[in-house]
Amino acid sequence: METAQPGGRMDSILIIDDDTDLCDLLNDLLTRDGFAVGAVHNGPEGVEQAISGRYALAVLDVMLPGINGFDVLRRIRAVSRIPVLMLTARGEDIDRIVGLEIGADDYLPKPFNPRELIARIRAVLRRMEAGARSQPETGRLIVDDLELVPGTRSVRCAGQQVELTSVEFSILETLLRQAGKVVSRDDLARQALGRDASVYDRSIDVHMSSLRKKLGQRADKLERIKTVRNIGYLYSAEI
């Protein structure tokens, strides 16, 4: 399978999975859709390739020999913000939650419809591309002690830099643009994940939990992100 050229092209996808038949299938489908594809079949090589700068996104299987997908993701996240879409066993909710908490941008349970995988990949890449096109200082959002700059996809909270995944950044940007107003889970899913959320999809909730931990408490001890039961979330703003 051909490896994509250096430079982090928006059409270069890395597959980290020990199922060679699945890798071949995905290679055929993705290249047919215009992507350049590289594949590795173990954790250490997966980490090395994911942080190399050659790829725009990594598809990572949880069940890998030696180093499992969670450990691979932890090592990637220690040095890189490359978007990662995890493949999990169907019915294993805990795998999905753990993956999202570690820093996965999205997940898809196996077995899956390959077209669904491609749709998820394109949704993540659209978010990244939209962020890259933004002007660095355009649309700066400041709410109380929090500052978000869409163009550089950077966040500072109480003067300190906060490292967020691409999904966490998109969720926070959506909430800040409507600070003081309730944003539904459906709207957050469409804007941050690029897809509709199903009734049992906990992705937004897990990302929200991670966001709260990373942002911490406000100086006035008030909750930054409030849950509005059965509706959605609200970013609190001083009036």
Domain match, 146 and 109 both: no
Looking at the structure, tell me whether residues 25 and 117 fall in a common domain: yes
Q: Measured in Å, how far apart are the chain's first and last C-alpha atoms?
A: 57
- Cβ(8)–Cβ(56) below 8 Å: yes
- For residue 111, cis peptide bond before it (omega within 30 degrees of 0): yes
Looking at the structure, tell me whether residues 83 and 41 fall in a common domain.
yes
* In a shared domain, residues 184 and 228: yes
How far CA 66 is from CA of 72, 111, 135, in Å, comes to 10, 22, 43
Residue at which a domain ends, from 99, 130, 161? 130
**Chain centroid to CA 84: how far?**
6
CATH number at residue 218: 1.10.10.10
User: Does residue 23 share a domain with residue 117?
Assistant: yes
How far apart are alpha carbons 237 and 239 in whole angstroms? 6
121 and 207 in a single domain? The answer is no
Q: Is the pTM of this model over 0.75?
A: no
Examine residue 1 and state whether it is found in any structural domain, yes or no.
no
Q: Residues 17-74: pLDDT tens digits?
A: 999 999 999 999 999 999 999 999 999 999 999 999 999 999 999 999 889 999 999 9
- Asked, for residue 6, whether it belongs to a domain, the answer is no
Helix (H) and strand (E) counts for the chain?
8, 12
Are residues 169 and 80 part of one domain?
no
- The predicted structure's pLDDT at residue 3: 38
Domain that holds residue 34: 12-130
What is the structure's pLDDT at 200?
Answer: 66
